[in-house]
Structure 1
Amino acid sequence: MREDCRRHTGPLFDHADTLSVVRDMDALRRSLGEKKINYFGHSYGTLIGEQYAEEYGDRIRSMALTANIDHSLGAREFLVSSAAAAEDSFQEFVKWCDRTSSCALHGRDVTAVWDGLLARADRGEIRDPEHPDRVLTAHEITFNVFRMFYGPDREQLAAYVAGLDAQEPSERQRSTQPRQVRPSTPQGADKETEAEPFYAVFCQDWRFRAKDYPEYARLTQAEMRAAPHMRGTPRVHPAVAGCIGWPDEVNNPQHRLRVTEAPGILMLHARHDPANHFSWAANVHRQTRGTTVLLPYEGAGHSVYGRSDCTRDAVDDYLTELRMPSPGSSCAPAAKNTTH
């Protein structure tokens, strides 16, 4: 895959790491004639912001970062904390369903329903509701649910799980093999080339290279222990596995942040983020304690800015007026999710 991507992309492929992006961003600043920038970064965008602050801190007027990434983690820490974040969101969903009468699984043992559903998927018994001729794997189900944690879209999530669980045995026994659907391609025609930059970026930003299968198996076992119901981390596991076999040389290897010249940086992070563990934000804040202020959002979900008046005002006041929230303050969970 790596060589195929390089062949189709050209020299750009070897310069897709975040540090290269940061240098390009400063080139844009220069070309626009701006002395300083205002920057808002979310999720992967926080890594861009963190490294811009490290390289060009004196060129920042304001910087707000939400759902922060900790670029100092080793492979085991990264996998285990990512898995723990997904598992935490699952447990938060279970607690919500137990106390919410509108949950489609209210009054049932949600954990038992979920574990049973994945076991049935392992046996090829669960079908895609939108494509009944196709079997859903356990990984596909966990990934679909993981994405709903981002909202979190709990009503939709509960209805999705309840619907799969309610499938009749007669629906599940027709076939145990998913149909392989391939687009018709005229003989001799080139296959369509798709833009898939993720691995070019991820594998140049992180030195995650399992030396052999036993090491990979140990990482996977640690990940599974951290998330037994979510079966690890649906997003990060494929990312780490996708870097196996890449060269050991990494353009932008992980390291502790060294920010020395930047002004105050505002960080927000949900306490129950399904993808980026809250400890990542806490670690980044510890590494930059003289520069950053961390404002926790005590609720769930991946996006943070539009959660409540508290989160929105904190970011707006800082970016426009450079007013920081008081250190040690936090934003209460919103009564209703208003952003995704």
Structure 2
Amino acid sequence: MRLGSVLLTAALLTGSTTATATAAPAIDWQPCRDGTTVECATVTVPIDYARPEAGTIDVAIARSEATGRRQGTLFFMPGGPGDSGVDRLLRGNVVPDAVAERFDVVSFDPRGTNRSHPIMCDANLVAAMPNAVPEAGAHLADIQEYARDLGASCREHTGPLIDHVDTVSVARDIDTIRAALGERQLTLYGRSYGTLAGQMYAENFPRRVRGLVLDSVFDHGLPVSTFLTTQVATAEDSFTEFAKWCAADASCALHGQDVGQVYGELWDKAVAGELSLSPMNLSMDIVNRFYTPDWPGTANRLRELSGGVAATRAATTVPFPIPAFCGDQRVRFSSEREWLSLWHKQSAAGPTIRTHNAWLALSMCSAWPAATPNPQHVTDIDRGVPPVLILNSLHDPATSYEWAKDVHRQIDRSVLLTYDGWGHGVTTRTDCTKAVFTDYVVHGRTPRPGTHCAA
């Protein structure tokens, strides 16, 4: 893949000040690879926007040009943290055809991930993730010691970027890309953790926002305890919906069985070290299957694990770069007792599923040896920003519907569209969700307050 490059110098941004970049030469777009119309390039950005002289990195970007009469640029912010916007575009456009006709769709690999100077750490340490489940013998001190050791290796192999992978820095990169594109404003579309980038962009660059879509919303204003309990509760809700389906549908591989009991027995085996997966990986393996959702596959997986036929199969995981997450999450535990108390609270919120993948990440963040430039805070978006469109599934396994309602309350000029179904990611679910998204992006129209799209 041949990549072009452009260097921009940006000033320090504070509050809602808009970046002022130097005159931007045209981006040198080149085909990403043979057989695709998607184009790739790089944009060079400061590692630290407060000290541009401290060095730069190249951020990988990709573009799918409008197929018809061009109206503007839509910027897509992928989830994770750790997902690749470049790969997303290479797999096919991320917006409905009616939007792809009118808008160039541009995306990126956020700093510290994939093609954009990825965080590099000692491979042996990364492969030795600690146990994080107290009933399986986990202790906070062991996790924190591991986090400090891993963080030191990441700093050694990555350099100063380790302190600047927070989402405000990502938002500033987006504005540098905007300037390089020669666009006065962007229409932004964030999905999952990418919705935090959208919120941070609107906070810092309100006058650069033509429109903002937040699909499956990350709520950055939650304290750690509430964050964990609500995320586990939404995963528990997805398991309950799966159990209802399995009880009603004879095609379910566990039809007629208590799937909660099946999972509970597997959890006990994992805690005892009698399963091929750790308890944390068991939870991640099952919850990740609810993203689509893939209920038949979930039942098959539980049956495989119960029968012991998948003893050597690796857990299904999602990218989860700890440094980027810790750059947005300030976590402090005063004692092991406080940590254990929080474990019991989250387990009570999800009595079947027990935990979610954020538990290990937040435990590590409590001792991560790098800065937290963007700690939790309630989203504060200027009323000059156009109305924001928020979309969320009623039964989302990762970003709780309660989070969507909370962010909706935080953003004065916003409308929440509810998809009365399951899974993570709403925009392209049904003709209804596609139509709402398209009408907003193309015409700037929001649906009526309280609008629902049927499952």
TM bucket normalised to smaller: 0.7 to 0.9
1:44 aligned onto 2:193: yes
SS in 2 for 1:121: helix
Give runs of aligned pairs for residues 223-234 of structure 1, distance below 5 A: 223-233=346-356
SS in 2 for 1:297: strand
Q: Give the deviation of 1:61 after TM superposition.
A: 1.1
Higher normalized contact order (CA 8 Å, seq sep 6+, divided by chain length): 1
Give runs of aligned pairs for residues 92-107 of structure 1, distance below 5 A: 92-107=241-256
Structure-2 residue corresponding to 1:331: 453
Structure 2: segments with no counterpart, 5+ residues: 1-149, 313-318
Give runs of aligned pairs for residues 20-39 of structure 1, distance below 5 A: 20-39=169-188
1: distance between equivalents of 2:179 and 2:270?
54
1: distance between equivalents of 2:268 and 2:369?
37
Quick one: which of 398, 415, 426 aligns to 1:275?
A: 398
Quick one: which of 382, 387, 410 aligns to 1:287?
A: 410
Structure-2 residue corresponding to 1:245: 367
Q: Give the deviation of 1:246 after TM superposition.
A: 3.0
Which whole-Å deviations, capped at 9, do the CAs of 1:157-201 have from their partners, x for residues lacking one?
111112222348xx99xxxxx9xxxxxxxxxxxxxxxxx872221
Which whole-Å deviations, capped at 9, do the CAs of 1:125-150 have from their partners, x for residues lacking one?
44xxxxxxxx3333322211111011
Which whole-Å deviations, capped at 9, do the CAs of 1:3-25 have from their partners, x for residues lacking one?
21111111211111000111111
Q: 1:214 to 1:53 in 2, by over 3 A?
A: same
| TM-score relative to the length of structure 2 | 0.63
Q: Give the deviation of 1:271 after TM superposition.
A: 0.8
Which whole-Å deviations, capped at 9, do the CAs of 1:104-142 have from their partners, x for residues lacking one?
11112222222122223334444xxxxxxxx33333222
1:236 aligned onto 2:385: no
1:266 aligned onto 2:389: yes
1:218 aligned onto 2:341: yes
- 8 Å CA contact retained: 2:163, 2:371: no
Bigger share in helix:
1
Structure-1 residue corresponding to 2:305: 164
- 8 Å CA contact retained: 2:218, 2:404: yes
1: distance between equivalents of 2:406 and 2:219?
7
2: distance between equivalents of 1:42 and 1:147?
16
Give runs of aligned pairs for residues 1-340 of structure 1, distance below 5 A: 1-126=150-275, 135-167=276-308, 198-233=321-356, 235-246=357-368, 250-260=372-382, 261-289=384-412, 291-333=413-455
Q: Give the deviation of 1:282 after TM superposition.
A: 0.5
1: distance between equivalents of 2:220 and 2:204?
15
C-alpha RMSD of the superposition: 1.9
2: distance between equivalents of 1:19 and 1:225?
33
- 8 Å CA contact retained: 2:330, 2:366: no
2: distance between equivalents of 1:237 and 1:90?
18
2: distance between equivalents of 1:124 and 1:52?
45
Q: 1:140 to 1:68 in 2, by over 3 A?
A: same
- 8 Å CA contact retained: 1:85, 1:276: yes
Q: Give the deviation of 1:209 after TM superposition.
A: 2.0
2: distance between equivalents of 1:73 and 1:247?
22
- 8 Å CA contact retained: 1:89, 1:274: yes
Deviates more, 1:67-76 or 1:7-16: 7-16
Which whole-Å deviations, capped at 9, do the CAs of 1:71-120 have from their partners, x for residues lacking one?
10111001111111111111111111111111111112222222122223
Structure-1 residue corresponding to 2:97: none
2: distance between equivalents of 1:34 and 1:50?
19
SS in 2 for 1:39: strand
Q: 1:115 to 1:104 in 2, by over 3 A?
A: same
Q: 1:247 to 1:6 in 2, by over 3 A?
A: closer
Q: How many residues were matched structurally?
A: 299
Q: Give the deviation of 1:248 after TM superposition.
A: 9.0
2: distance between equivalents of 1:256 and 1:137?
35
